[in-house]
Chain A
Amino acid sequence: MWQYIARRFTYMVFTVWIISLITFAVIQLPPGDYVTTIVSQMINSGMEDLPPDFEQQIREQYGLDQPMVVQYYKWLRNIIVDGKFGYSFVYRKDAKDIILERLPVSFAISGFSVLFIWAVALPIGIYSAVKQYSLADYLVTFIGFIGLAVPSFLFALVLMFFSYKYMDRAMIGLFSREYETAPWSLNKFLDLVKHLGIPVIIIGTAGTAGLIRTMRANLLDELNKPYVDTARSKGLSERALLWKYPVRHALNPFISTVGWILPSLIAGELIVSVVLNLPTSGPVIYNSLLTQDMYVAAGAILILSSMTVIGTFISDLLLAWLDPRVRLH
């Protein structure tokens, strides 16, 4: 077991490092940098008599004139040693503050989405496996297909239209007006939970549909095994027969899928947040990419991706703990 944990841990660290490389490289891709943007903005707003070495000065000030490897090294070192993610050129404060302000909401949404997916997929998956080829089963399969096919942001658009048309209220934002700027309190948290419903459903639908299908398939495999017939022939009640072994066996994907659901949840959360104007890290990434606020974009992408990888790591461990066979692979 320890060997397994150590190996998975090494993979995880390696993955996070690769992600940091990719992130940094990708953020550096656009031609020019933030300084170019500022300078062109200043020229556009009438400040044409800038000193000739003005650009050079700002670059030196922010260390943007150094070679890429050095910049990467400093960036990574600052994150690991001091927990600093650099400076936001747009907001004029630490990138960390901007990211940390939004991140908890992102995690709340993703976390609630996972819970939602589990809570819905488990009973429906079991039901449609037990009543295979029943009307309800076909219905679930069909809805599941639609849930998989409709991308979350389109779903959000359509829901938004209906809520606007029939409920006289656009469901955008995550807080009621009175709590928007209020400091965190129990009431504000409850208000948040109330508003989370719609985004969680939108983000969780695709994952739910996928998990129902996996659950159904797995449980069907189990139910057709001889030990189930044996148990039945010995007079075990159908209920006990179902819950005692087959369901427990089929539960594995619930843990293992967290790994592959998380990336898509994060992606879904990002785009849905942009559509519904939720104060999560999604719009921050989106806007910072548009304005080339590179340290904010890089920091947010790095943290989100790392959290996904860590989530996957934890789900691997849980799975190994639940299912001894996994440890041996």
Chain B
Amino acid sequence: MDVTLKEQVFEQSSSSGSNAPVAETEEERRLEVATQWQLMWWKFRKHRLAMFSTGILFTYYFVAIFAEFFAPWTRTQYIAEYVYVPPQPIHFFDDGKFDPYVKGLTFERDPRSFKKIWTIDQKSKIEIGLFVKGSEYKIGLHWLPIPYINNLFFTTDRHLIGAKDPTQPMYLMGADKSGRDIFSRLVYSTRISLSVGLVGVALSLTLGISLGGLSGLFGGWIDNIIQRLIEVVMSVPDLPIMLAIAAAVPLDWPIERVYFIITIIIALRSWTGLARVVRGKFLSLREDDFILASRLDGASQGRLIFRHMLPSFYSHIIASLTLALPHMILAETALSFLGLGLRPPAVSWGVMLQDTQKVAVIALYPWLLWPAAAVILVVLAFNFLGDGLRDAADPY
């Protein structure tokens, strides 16, 4: 499919050059007048997996933004009694009638430790519903530190799904060691895990474009120094150094500061790839005819860079960024998993997975691995999206 598109573009560009009266089909005419971004979109649309991944990622971010609504409970809410409750799957039909419910819970005492071991009670029934009442939360711009604008919010206590009687347990993905709902925590952790990637990408974008740009534009000794720097950063095994820096974060720091430091640590590693892309592009563009033409026209250096050079490879930057995002998400997960990244009460996928470090825990309570599934799915989706974008970045 890609090949035919390319050939069509190629053919019509050569035919328009030779002025030969070639009968054009509707399709060809459409391609001729299309802008670069339109061509990219058409090409991207053909990458099915990438389109599908876009949908998944939109869902992820939507859930992250409205986490309070999607999560039945808050992220710290717990019922101390329900420790390590197994998942209670939703049953939609009761006696052939649509009436969603989850089965209740029952427990036995472990003969030695006298701890409660919960199992699903096949007989009892807990009715669940949509838009049920729960804890109160705000939706809107209340978190912005700007006066007046942060008054734009409303308060509600409706949650997408939940038990009709809020005192009844509904653990869709089971409970953790202190009786907290894994599903709710998973929804909340989406917010932190995904935003770490975005903030990290913003940081490494700044570093990558400025250093890569300097390197490619000026060349000479500046280029040499920056290239050596990149080589050093790339040849250092990142994890030990990241661990060392993360281990240095004082235990009594507030969550926001830890979050910010962790993001910086992650971004410090990943700007190199982008810097290389940018440098390579600048190097090759510098010699291009259209740059020479505008230089002869008397365009200033700034205009050359921002008006002519950068726009010609926005698409490549976007593709590289999309491929860098999953690495950052994974780095945060790995650090937090080892207990050196974010720490409770912050909740990210890595923080949740901390509980699974011991094999005995996984063997007994495999539902604690749900965050791993969330990580793998989002990383896959980003990879497919990045792949599709990279293909579409050069639609000619």
Query: What are the residues of chain A within 8 A of B18 when measuring CB–CB?
Result: none
Who on chain A is nearest to B340 by CB?
Answer: A289
**How distant is the Cα of A158 from the Cα of B356 in the complex, in angstroms?**
10
Query: What are the residues of chain B within 8 A of A151 when measuring CB–CB?
Result: 330, 333-334, 375, 379
Query: What are the residues of chain A within 8 A of B245 when measuring CB–CB?
Result: 26, 29
CB-CB under 8 A for A153 and B334, given A146-B380, A289-B247: yes
Query: What are the residues of chain A within 8 A of B241 when measuring CB–CB?
Result: 22-23, 26, 301, 305
Who on chain B is nearest to A313 by CB?
Answer: B235
Query: CB within 8 Å of A: which of B202-257?
Result: 228, 231-232, 234-241, 243-245, 247-248, 250
Binds B, one of A122-130, A245-253, A266-274: A266-274
Shortest distance from the beta carbon of B194 to any chain A beta carbon, whole Å: 15
The answer to whether the Cβ of A161 comes within 8 Å of any Cβ in the partner chain is: yes
Query: What are the residues of chain A within 8 A of B369 when measuring CB–CB?
Result: 157-158, 161
Q: Determine if A22 and B239 form an interchain contact, defined as CB atoms under 8 angstroms apart.
A: no
Q: Determine if A30 and B248 form an interchain contact, defined as CB atoms under 8 angstroms apart.
A: yes
Q: Determine if A30 and B250 form an interchain contact, defined as CB atoms under 8 angstroms apart.
A: yes
Taking residues whose C-beta sits less than 8 angstroms from the other chain, chain B's interface range is: 35 or more
The answer to whether the Cβ of B44 comes within 8 Å of any Cβ in the partner chain is: no
The answer to whether the Cβ of A308 comes within 8 Å of any Cβ in the partner chain is: yes
Query: What are the residues of chain A within 8 A of B232 when measuring CB–CB?
Result: 14-15, 18-19
The answer to whether the Cβ of B292 comes within 8 Å of any Cβ in the partner chain is: no
Shortest distance from the beta carbon of A16 to any chain B beta carbon, whole Å: 9
Q: Determine if A15 and B250 form an interchain contact, defined as CB atoms under 8 angstroms apart.
A: no
The answer to whether the Cβ of A165 comes within 8 Å of any Cβ in the partner chain is: yes
The answer to whether the Cβ of B376 comes within 8 Å of any Cβ in the partner chain is: yes
Query: What are the residues of chain B within 8 A of A292 when measuring CB–CB?
Result: 247
CB-CB under 8 A for A309 and B235, given A30-B250, A31-B250: yes
Q: Determine if A145 and B239 form an interchain contact, defined as CB atoms under 8 angstroms apart.
A: no
Who on chain A is nearest to B245 by CB?
Answer: A26
Query: What are the residues of chain B within 8 A of A154 when measuring CB–CB?
Result: 333, 353, 372, 375-376
DSSP class of A's interface residues: helix, strand, loop or mixed? Answer: helix
Which of A145, A150, A259, A308 is the one whose CB lies under 8 Å from B237?
A: A308
Q: Determine if A145 and B384 form an interchain contact, defined as CB atoms under 8 angstroms apart.
A: yes
Query: CB within 8 Å of B: which of A126-166?
Result: 145-146, 148-151, 153-154, 157-158, 160-161, 164-165
| Count of interface residues, chain A, beta-carbon cutoff 8 Å | 52
The answer to whether the Cβ of B359 comes within 8 Å of any Cβ in the partner chain is: yes
The answer to whether the Cβ of B291 comes within 8 Å of any Cβ in the partner chain is: no
Which of A22, A262, A274, A304 is the one whose CB lies under 8 Å from B338?
A: A274
The answer to whether the Cβ of B366 comes within 8 Å of any Cβ in the partner chain is: yes
Q: Determine if B247 and A22 form an interchain contact, defined as CB atoms under 8 angstroms apart.
A: no
The answer to whether the Cβ of A275 comes within 8 Å of any Cβ in the partner chain is: yes
The answer to whether the Cβ of A321 comes within 8 Å of any Cβ in the partner chain is: no
Shortest distance from the beta carbon of A148 to any chain B beta carbon, whole Å: 6
The answer to whether the Cβ of A263 comes within 8 Å of any Cβ in the partner chain is: yes
Who on chain A is nearest to B337 by CB?
Answer: A153
Which of B236, B356, B375 is the one whose CB lies under 8 Å from A305?
A: B236
**How distant is the Cα of A95 from the Cα of B359 in the complex, in angstroms?**
30
A-B contact pairs, 29 of them (CB 8 A): A15-B231, A18-B232, A23-B244, A26-B244, A30-B247, A31-B250, A148-B383, A149-B326, A154-B353, A157-B353, A157-B362, A158-B369, A160-B362, A161-B359, A161-B369, A262-B237, A263-B234, A264-B237, A266-B237, A266-B239, A266-B240, A267-B237, A267-B239, A270-B239, A292-B247, A297-B244, A305-B235, A305-B236, A312-B235
Q: Using a CB–CB distance below 8 Å, which chain A residues touch chain B? A: 11, 14-15, 18-19, 22-23, 26-27, 29-31, 145-146, 148-151, 153-154, 157-158, 160-161, 164-165, 170, 172, 259-260, 262-264, 266-267, 270-271, 274-275, 285-286, 289-290, 292, 297, 300-301, 304-305, 308-309, 312
* Complex A-B, nearest 9 residue pairs according to Cβ-Cβ distance, in ascending order: A267-B239, A29-B248, A289-B247, A266-B237, A263-B237, A30-B248, A164-B363, A149-B379, A26-B244
